[in-house]
Amino acid sequence: MKSLPAALILSLSLAGGTVVAGDEPVRTLLTKDLSGVPDREISMILVDYPPGGSSPAHTHQAQAMVYVLEGSIVMQLKDQAPVTLTAGQTFYEGRDGVHLISRNASNSARAKFVVFLAKDKGAPILTPLK
C-alpha cells in the first residue's frame, strides 16, 4: 500500500490531472497564478503519510517550503544529510533540488505536512527520478 498510492499520485500529477482527496497521501489544496510573475504559479499541497509511508525519489522543479503539521518526517536532498522534522518545523528545497528521501519517520503514527511550491505554470507537482 505504501508505493501504490504514491505511484498513482505521480501519474496523476504528470498527466496534469488533479490529485484527489480520500485515502491518497497527497492532495492539492490550492493553485493560483503568481501575481506579477508571468507563467509562474504557487501551489499548496497537503501530504498525509500513513505509518511507514513514503514517496519515491523525485524533483519538483520548483521552490518548495514544507511545514510539518503532525508526526515526524525524514527529508533528504542530494548531497545533504537526512533531517528529521517534527510538528512546527520547516524545510526548504530549491528549484534544482533532488529529493532523495521523503518519508514518515514513524511506523506507528501518521505524519502530515503542507508544502508550498512556486513553479512554472502547469508544471507537475513532482517528477519521479528514473
Domain 3-128: give its CATH code: 2.60.120.10
> How many Å apart are CA 71 and CA 68, to the nearest integer?
8
Q: How many CA atoms lie within 13 A of 60 on its CB side?
A: 26
Going by C-alpha positions, the residue among 2, 1, 50, 14 that lies closest to residue 122 is 14
Full-prediction pTM beyond 0.75? yes
Query: What is the residue-wise DSSP string for 4-22?
Result: HHHHHHHHHHHTT-PPP-S
Q: What dihedral angle (degrees, nearest 10) is formed by the CA atoms of 94, 126, 76, 111?
A: 120
The amino acid sitting at 50 is P
The domains of the chain are located at 3-128
All residue ranges of the chain with pLDDT < 70 are: 1-24
Segment 91-126, tens digit of pLDDT:
999 998 999 999 999 999 999 999 999 999 999 988
